[in-house]
Structure 1
Amino acid sequence: MGTVGTLARFAALPAEHITFYRLFLGSLCLLIYMLASSKRSQILHRPGKRTLINGAMLAGFMFFYIQAMNYTSMANAVMLVYLAPLLSAVFAHFIFKERLAVANVLAIVIALLGFAMMMQFSLAASGAENEILGLFYGVLSLLTYSGFMLINRKPDDSTPYQSTLVQLLVGALCLLPLILASTPDISAAQGLWLLAIGIIPGFIAILCAVKALRHLPAVTFGTLAYVEPVAVVCFAWTFFAESLTLLQLGGCSLIILAGISQGLLTHKAKATAAGIRG
Structure 2
Amino acid sequence: MTRQRALVYIHVAAVLFGLTGVFGEVIQASAALITLGRAVFAVLSLMAFSRLQRKRLFSALTPAQLFTLIISGGLLAVHWVTFFISVKTGGIAIATLGFASFPAFITLFEGLLFREKVRAAEWAIIGLVTAGLILVTPSFDLANAGTVGLAWGLLSGLAFALLAVSNRHSAVGLDAMQIACGQNIVVVLAMLPFAAGQLPQLAAIDLFWIALLGVFCTGLSHYLFVSSLAKLNARSAGVVIALEPVYAIAFAWLLFAQEPGLRMLAGAALIILAIVWSGLRKPHPETMLV
TM-score, length-scaled by structure 2:
0.70
Distance 1:54 1:197, change over 3 A: same
- TM-superposed CA distance for 1:88, in Å, is 2.2
Kept in 2, the 8 Å contact 1:93–1:99? The answer is yes
In the other structure, the counterpart of 1:4 is 20
Q: Once the 2 structures are TM-superposed, how far is the Cα of residue 99 of structure 1 from its aligned partner? A: 3.5
- Look up the match of 1:93: 111
Q: Which of 248, 251, 255 in structure 2 is aligned with 1:232?
A: 248
Q: What are the ranges of 5 or more consecutive residues in structure 2 without an aligned counterpart? A: 1-16, 284-290
Q: Name the CA shift for 1:63/1:249 in 2 (closer, same or farther; >3 Å).
A: closer
Correspondence 1:158 to 2:169: no
3-state DSSP class of the match of 2:199?
Answer: coil
Return structure 1 stretches of 4+ with deviation > 6 angstroms: 67-70, 72-80, 137-140, 223-226
Kept in 2: contact 1:110–1:258 (CA 8 A): yes
Quick one: structure 1 residues 203 and 98, their matched pair in 2 at CA, closer, same or farther if it must change by over 3 Å? farther
Contact 2:40 2:188 in 1 (8 A): yes
Deviation at 1:69? 8.3
Residues of 2 paired with 1:90 and 1:51: CA distance? Answer: 23
Do residues 146 (structure 1) and 161 (structure 2) align?
yes
Change in 2 beyond 3 A, CA 1:240/1:79: closer
CA distance in 1, matches of 2:107, 2:41: 31
Q: Which of 137, 140, 162 matches 1:123?
A: 140
One-letter amino acid of the counterpart of residue 42, structure 2:
G
Q: How many residues get paired?
A: 253
Question: Which 5+ residue runs of structure 1 have no aligned equivalent?
Answer: 268-278
Question: Residue 256 of structure 1 corresponds to which residue in structure 2?
Answer: 272
Task: State whether residues 79 and 155 of structure 2, in contact with CA within 8 Å, keep that contact through their aligned partners in structure 1.
Answer: yes
**Alignment-derived partner of residue 29 in structure 1:** 45
- Partners of 1:105 and 1:263 in 2: CA distance: 15
Question: Contact 1:85/1:225 (CA < 8 Å) preserved in 2?
Answer: no
Any idea what the Cα deviations from partners look like across 1:1-20, whole Å, max 9, x if unmatched?
A: 33222113233222222111
Cα offset for 1:77?
8.1
Give, in whole Å, the separation in 2 of the partners of 1:144 and 1:265. Answer: 22
Report the CA distance between 1:260 and its aligned residue. Answer: 2.9
Q: Corresponding residue for 2:131?
A: 113
Task: Name the counterpart of 1:276.
Answer: none
Aligned partners of 1:189, 1:62: CA distance in 2, in Å?
21
Matches within 5 A, 1:32-47: 32-39=48-55, 41-46=56-61, 47=65
Partner Cα distance (1:27, 1:147) in 2: 22
Q: Alignment partner for residue 195 of structure 1, among 211, 227, 232? A: 211
RMSD: 3.8
What is the identity, as a one-letter code, of the residue corresponding to 1:87?
Answer: F
Structure 1, residues 79-128: CA drift from partner, whole Å, max 9, x if none?
Answer: 875654423211213444554321222123113312332234x2311279
